[in-house]
Amino acid sequence: MGILTFSLNLTLDGCVDHREGIANDETHAFFTRLMNEHGAMLWGRVTYEMMESYWPAVARGDVEAPPAIREWAVQLEAKPKYVVSNTRTEFPWTNSHHIAGDLRAGVQQLKDATPAGVLVGSGTLATELDRLDLIDEYVFLVHPRIAGHGPTLYQSGLPSTRRLDLVTATPLRCGAVVMHYRRAHPDT
C-alpha cells in the first residue's frame, strides 16, 4: 500500500495562497523531484481547474517558461492525476481521473493501488482527508514571508491535534525551508 503525502506551499503565518510563495527554478525543481517520488497526484476540483488552466499550455510549449518550470509541466502532464469532485465529472487533461462517491473508500483504494504513493496538493481536500485519518506524511515548503491574509492551512479546523514526527528540515537557497513530517504513532 502506498502512502498519502500532503504537500503545499505556505508562508510563515500559514497562508496557502499560491501567489504568496517564491516561484523560481529552485522551488519548481523541488516540487518536480517530489512529484517524481510519488505515483500519482490527487487534487480537489478547484486546484485541478487552476492547474489545468495553465500547465498543459506550458508543457506544449505554448507559454514561454524557464527550463525548470517547463520540466515540471512536462512531467506533470505525464503523471496520473486524480480529482475529487461532486460537481464535475469530465476531466479531459491527459491522464486525469475522477474519484466520485465515498471519499474514504475512493482515496483508500487509490492508496492501495499506488505503491509509490499519492501526493495531495489541495488544502481544502487535505483537511477532509486528514479528518478521515488518511494522510500519512506532510511535506510543506515554508516560505520566508508573512502574508497577513488567508486562506490559511486547516482554516476550517480539525477535530483534534495532529502529532507529527520530523523526518527532515531542508533549507533552500531562496530562504524557504522544506519541512517533512510523518504522523506520529500513538505510543510516541
Find all residues with CB under 8 Å of 49, minimum gap 6, and list them: none
What is the pTM (predicted TM-score) of this model? Answer: 0.93
| Rounded mean pLDDT, 153-176 | 95
* Position 86 pLDDT exceeds 70: yes
Asked if 124 contacts 46 with a C-beta cutoff of 8 angstroms, the reply is yes
The C-alpha cell at 102 is 465515498
Residue of 27, 28, 137, 91 whose CA lies nearest to 99: 91
Query: Quick one: pLDDT at residue 188?
Result: 52
Q: In this predicted model, what pLDDT tens digit does every residue of 135-161 receive, in sequence order? A: 999 999 999 999 999 999 999 899 999
Q: What is the mean pLDDT of residues 90-108?
A: 96
pLDDT at 185: 75
pLDDT digits (tens, 9 = 90+) for 17-72: 989 999 888 998 899 999 999 999 999 999 999 999 999 999 999 999 988 888 88
The helix (H) or strand (E) run that includes residue 156 is none
Locus of grid cell 504522523 = 183
* Beta-carbon contacts of residue 76 (< 8 Å; ≥ 6 apart): 35, 41, 51, 55, 59
Q: What angle do CA 165, 170, 172 make, to 5 degrees?
A: 150
- β partners of residue 95: none
Q: Which residue has the cell 481536500?
A: 125
